[in-house]
Each structure stands twice: as structure tokens, then as C-alpha cells.
Amino acid sequence: MERTHVIVVRHGETKWNTERRFQGHLDSPLTQKGLSQAQALTRRLTNQRFSALYSSDLGRAYQTAQIISAATGRGVVSDAKLRERNLGIFQGLRSEEIKTAYPEEYEIYRSRDPDHVIPGGESLRHQVERNIGCFEELARKHVGESIVVVTHGGVLSGLFRHTLSIPLQAPRRFEFMNSSLNVFAYGEGYWSLRTWGDISHLDAATD
């Protein structure tokens, strides 16, 4: 059985990551550390054989993908379906700011109701279904190949839960790191996990 190997990587650290702000569909530039992480990830990927490079169209992911592209010669194909969850009224704010401005909405958000739509945004279920649909479309397009997809923490989380049948409303007991390397395989209509949270390439990245 031929499988598609999907190397999914999270973008490098951003300014809003360091400030613990909700990013969603808004954007924040990579920090100097984030750029170093992306470069270290790129060095790792130059030793990987892959046939295509895809990215979320949000700036932090696309900037990371462009660094990979420049070193590997693979053009970046961006797709809005690979975006993080639209967090609506929460975007650009820290948790404490959201609790003050939108206490009721924040409590519902914290309850992890997968069908709750954040005002101005989308539900967790809609985000994950959007992302999984895109991953499966790409996997079917590249049967027997390896591809790289640059995306976001929430997108990684959704694919991880989908692969391991972890309910969306279950508490998160796993981490997803900036510029981590995660490998999934797809074939015969199902996903399997090969590698999760590999950041060994970041040992040499500057702080």
C-alpha cells in the first residue's frame, strides 16, 4: 500500500507568541529567535526528500515556508484552508484581557465546546474539518510521495487528535512547539503518526 508522508511543521516563534496573545487569523512577525528556528528547521529539511511545499497563507507560516523554499528550491503553494482557527473578538488580546472584556465568551471558550462559534470567528470543529479536508486533498494528490506543510499549532493539534481519535473537547495533554517537525502518513482513508514534536534540529538555534 502506497502512503503519502506529510511532514507538518509549525511556524517559527512570533512576537505575539512571546506576548501570549491570541493570533488566530491576525498576524505577528517572526522574532529573531523565530527566524533562527526557521533556518535550523530548513537545514534539517535539506536532508529530507520531498516533492512539494505547502503553507498556510498567514504571514508567520508563509515567512517560515519562504525560508525553506529559498534553501530547497521548492516553490511555496499557499492555501487559506491551512489557516489557524479564526478567533474573532479574541484576536490580538491576552487571556487576561479577554477575561475582562468578554468574560462569558471566555468561559464558553475554556469549556472546549467544539461547536461554539466565537463572535466574529469560527468553531473549533469547523476549523479542524477545514484543515483535515485540506490535508486529505493534498495527501491524495501526492500518493507515494513526501510533502512538507507549514502551518500552525492549532492545526497540528487538530490533526493529532483526528489521527489518534482524541475528542476535540478533551483536555490537551500534549505540546506543539515552534518549528517542530511532525510526520504523518495517509493511506486507504486513514492517518497514522510517525513522528511528533521533533525539535532536535533547534539545539543549534540561537536564543
User: Reading across the β-sheet that carries 190-198, which strands appear in turn?
Assistant: 76-79, 52-56, 146-151, 4-10, 181-187, 190-198
Domain boundaries, the chain: 4-204
Does residue 206 register a pLDDT over 70? no
Place of cell 474573532: 88
- State which fold the 4-204 domain adopts: Rossmann fold (3.40.50)
* Residue 92 and residue 70 in contact, taking contact as beta carbons nearer than 8 Å: no
pLDDT averaged over the chain? 96
What per-residue confidence (pLDDT) applies to 204? 63
The pLDDT score that the predictor gives to residue 205 is 56
The per-residue pLDDT for range 130-179, each reduced to its tens digit, is 999 999 999 999 999 999 999 999 999 999 999 999 999 999 999 999 99
pLDDT tens figures, 91-104: 999 999 999 999 99
**Grid coordinates of 199:** 525539535
Please report, as a single letter, which amino acid is at residue 82: L
> Annotated active-site positions, please?
11, 84
Model pTM above 0.85 = yes
Residue type, position 67, single letter: I
